[in-house]
Chains A and B, each alone.
Chain A
Amino acid sequence: MDFAFSEEQTLLRNSVQKFVQNGYSFDTRRAIVKSEMGWKRENWKQFAELGLLGAPFSEDEGGLGGGPIETMIIMEEFGRGLVVEPYLGTVVIAGGFLRHGGSKAQKEQLIPEIAEGKRVFAFAFAEPQGRYNLADLQVTAKKAGTGYTLNGHKAVVVGAPWADSLIVTARTGGGQRDEKGVSVFIVDKKAKGVGTRDYPTVDGLRASEVTFENVSIGADAVVGQLDNGLKLVEHVTDEGIAALSAEAIGAMKVLNDTTVEYCKTRKQFGVPIGKFQVLQHRMVDMFMNYEQSVSITYMVTLKLNESETERKKAASAAKVQIGKAGRFIGQNAVQLHGGMGMTDELNVGHYFKRLTMIDTMFGNVDHHLKRYASLG
């Protein structure tokens, strides 16, 4: 057993850290978020140059041959900087679908495009009625000639305004919530019949409502097995959960450090407020929440390639811990900063908002407690 990072991994962390320090100050991020685009293409190019976009792909596929640990390192550092660029949707999620379910042709075409920064993806999985049930699908793909016709509505597709292509879950058979009959498609956002309405989200990202109206897709758009896509979807979202956990611990660390620093300098009643025991204990609880979250992030990262049940349990456990700790740390970081913590001007609220969104993404605490319990 060894929790140390290799030399390469440390170098990777250093390079992402350097990017965040130099190119992603709080003010720079604010300008990016408020810009018309809402993200920065040059950053994406830089990610490609740094090798981040190819990190989890094998060298044969045109990547760097990294794995879950490399993804964790990148996402943690992105979490510190509240990086908005769509790394999760493109590299972790779309990349995951291609790695685990992509055909030879799909891999050969799309992985290099991802790694070189030429193609951006968003994951269209949620539907207005479905909450966190990945199989609850009203979007349908009906057989039409050699291909399919796609119809329906995907909700809150994060990163869709920036995407070239969408990974879409759709029902190809069975009833609305059946496990069987779920399939995964790659859909060009510019395809005829794809409608998008874009809007900002509270955590500084952009999302779209995506509608499909008789969208024709070829047979080669299917990722993985037709009708048996749910296993693949769960596998990839579990990897997404691991990546989000890493992002969350990056954000938590900033909140904790900022809060401790503030409590050492902010004076009331003639002393730094950090001298008050009630606040000291609160910060100790925040610290413990963070440490437990780091531990569980390592756990899920190291168990992603274990058996299906082990992987699912690990992902749900991580999501529960991250969700709870994110709330506790976020809420108390705001509380301990007082009125300042409530402002848009200070970074604290922005980290809190992102942690809140992470808690919801791919299922909140209640959802994953139930999933964990159901796995025995």
Chain B
Amino acid sequence: MNLDFTSAEEAFRAEVHQFIKTGYPERIRGKSRGEFTGKEDFLAWHRALYKQGWIAPSWPKEYGGTGWSSTQKYIFSEECARADTPMVLPFGVAMVGPVIYTFASDEQKKEHLPKILSGDVWWCQGYSEPGSGSDLASLKTTAVREGDHYIVNGQKTWTTLAQYADWIFCLVRTDPKAKQQEGISFLLIDMKTPGVSVRPIITMDGAHEVNEVFLDNVNVPVKNLIGKENEGWTYAKFLLSHERAGIAGVARSKRGVEKLKKIAGTEQEGGKPLIEDKEFARNVAELEVDLLALEFTELRTLAGESRGRGPGPEASILKIRGTDIQQRLTELTLDAVSYYGFPYRPFAHDHMTNEYVPGPDYAAGAAQNYFLTRRTSIYGGSNEIQRNIIAKMVLGL
């Protein structure tokens, strides 16, 4: 056991650092995700990474991965967080991509993987339904086979950024008579197909990121089925465990703590920087200690993976603690900026003529970030569900 980076790893860090410095897209420099105004803003960083060959570090090399060691991946994500790059959207690269290269036919791999890597096709996730959230396997969207097509009917919800999506990967019920988990299939649907429609959901922070997706007699070629009919639940679970592993967001939270300390070094409390306030300093220290423990839990998980073990049910720890920390971080940031966290920072879709947001830049949208981050303990399998997973799968209760 040791914590040292080799000189090759240090050189790799310098290379990543240099690339971000020179290769970062101008169009989104200084913009946060909330300030993105369209599809190309979201894709700018993705495309830059693709050009560099770094868009999918976790993929096998044969499909376009980088062949990096887990240490290199760690260094990469750390450098990205440090530079505040936007997150690469997970739906293609982190979610449906691995399902496709693991379970799909060669033809499907050839059709979809290159466009996931290049960003030419934007994917969204058709999992949750109005009646099926935590109990995902109860989903009701049906796909009835007619010749070489499925006719799909139903409704998906909480579909992130579906307004930009070209394709959606959907869990659909293909055998209504089978036991819940056994009648589900994994289907890829072109969003341009007649019968697919998208309705926005505005979240309490004012953002439009999530949507409802309606599927009304949508004709889907059977060749868009991944793997075997009625075995979709296996693929769905595979995807969910991948989603959990990435969800800890350690590098981002470390960056968030740095920012918080900087804010608290600027904000004044009784004539001294807030960070010198005992109570506040203690709150920040507690958060840092939690984060440090999580960082090493993640490193242990990564080391396990590099020895050939997939992310096990332990990955639920990363999801629970990672999102706790993200939430606490936005809460403390709001505390730090006090009153200036409250002015509403408008989004492009608000079409407000008066876009005045007072106060220091670092305070703008602090309350909205705090509100939005409440979703992290709900999505990707709520933290209650993650605890159930640990109780059942790890502790055997």
Q: Is A10 an interface residue (CB 8 A)?
A: no
Q: Is B370 an interface residue (CB 8 A)?
A: yes
Q: Is B267 an interface residue (CB 8 A)?
A: yes
Interface secondary structure of B, over-half rule: mixed
A351 to chain B, nearest CB (A): 10
Given contacts A202-B367, A356-B367, contact A197 B344 (CB under 8 A): no
Chain B, interface size category, equals 35 or more
Interface residues of B in 348-397 (CB under 8 A from A): 354, 356-359, 367-368, 370-372, 374-375, 377-379, 382-384, 387
Q: Is A220 an interface residue (CB 8 A)?
A: no
**Is A200 in contact with B204, judged by CB distance below 8 angstroms?**
no
Given contacts A131-B268, A344-B202, A360-B342, contact A209 B280 (CB under 8 A): no
Q: Is A345 an interface residue (CB 8 A)?
A: yes
Q: Is A133 an interface residue (CB 8 A)?
A: yes
Q: Is A353 an interface residue (CB 8 A)?
A: yes
Query: Which residues on B sit within 8 Å (CB–CB) of A209?
Result: 358
A and B contact pairs by CB, cutoff 8 A, 26 listed: A156-B343, A177-B270, A198-B354, A198-B356, A199-B354, A199-B358, A202-B367, A268-B133, A268-B134, A269-B134, A279-B384, A327-B331, A335-B382, A338-B133, A338-B134, A339-B375, A339-B378, A342-B204, A343-B202, A352-B371, A352-B374, A353-B367, A360-B339, A360-B342, A366-B283, A366-B335
Assembled-state Cα–Cα distance A293/B371 (Å): 22
Q: Is B158 an interface residue (CB 8 A)?
A: yes
Q: Is A364 an interface residue (CB 8 A)?
A: yes
Q: Which residue of A lies closest to B267 (CB)?
A: A131
Q: Is A295 an interface residue (CB 8 A)?
A: no
Could you tell me which B residues sit within 8 Å of A by CB distance?
128, 131-135, 138, 157-158, 201-206, 210, 267-271, 274, 277, 279-280, 283, 331, 334-335, 338-344, 354, 356-359, 367-368, 370-372, 374-375, 377-379, 382-384, 387
**Is B339 in contact with A156, judged by CB distance below 8 angstroms?**
yes
Query: Which residues on A sit within 8 Å (CB–CB) of B377?
Result: 335
B384 to chain A, nearest CB (A): 6
Assembled-state Cα–Cα distance A356/B330 (Å): 13
Assembled-state Cα–Cα distance A129/B338 (Å): 10
Known: A132-B338, A335-B382. 11 other contacts (CB 8 A): A131-B268, A156-B342, A200-B343, A202-B367, A207-B342, A267-B131, A268-B138, A278-B384, A338-B378, A344-B202, A369-B279
Q: Which residue of A lies closest to B345 (CB)?
A: A202
**Is A345 in contact with B359, judged by CB distance below 8 angstroms?**
no
Query: Which residues on B sit within 8 Å (CB–CB) of A366?
Result: 277, 279-280, 283, 335
Q: Is A357 an interface residue (CB 8 A)?
A: yes
Query: Which residues on A sit within 8 Å (CB–CB) of B367?
Result: 202, 353, 356-357
Q: Is A65 an interface residue (CB 8 A)?
A: no
Assembled-state Cα–Cα distance A345/B210 (Å): 13
- B135 CB contact (under 8 Å) in A130, A202, A268, A343: A268
**Is A131 in contact with B370, judged by CB distance below 8 angstroms?**
no
Query: Which residues on A sit within 8 Å (CB–CB) of B371?
Result: 202, 349, 352-353, 356
Q: Which residue of B lies closest to A156 (CB)?
A: B339
Q: Which residue of A lies closest to B367 (CB)?
A: A202
Q: What is the 8 Å Cβ interface bit string for chain A, positions 351-365, against chain B (1 contact, 0 not)?
A: 011001100100010
Assembled-state Cα–Cα distance A265/B202 (Å): 24
Q: What is the 8 Å Cβ interface bit string for chain A, positions 32-55, against chain B (1 contact, 0 not)?
A: 000000000000000000000000
**Is A199 in contact with B378, judged by CB distance below 8 angstroms?**
no
- A335 CB contact (under 8 Å) in B203, B283, B357, B378: B378
A245 to chain B, nearest CB (A): 19
**Is B279 in contact with A334, judged by CB distance below 8 angstroms?**
no
**Is B335 in contact with A364, judged by CB distance below 8 angstroms?**
yes
Q: Which residue of B lies closest to A205 (CB)?
A: B342
Query: Which residues on B sit within 8 Å (CB–CB) of A267?
Result: 131
Given contacts A156-B358, A199-B356, A342-B375, contact A131 B342 (CB under 8 A): no
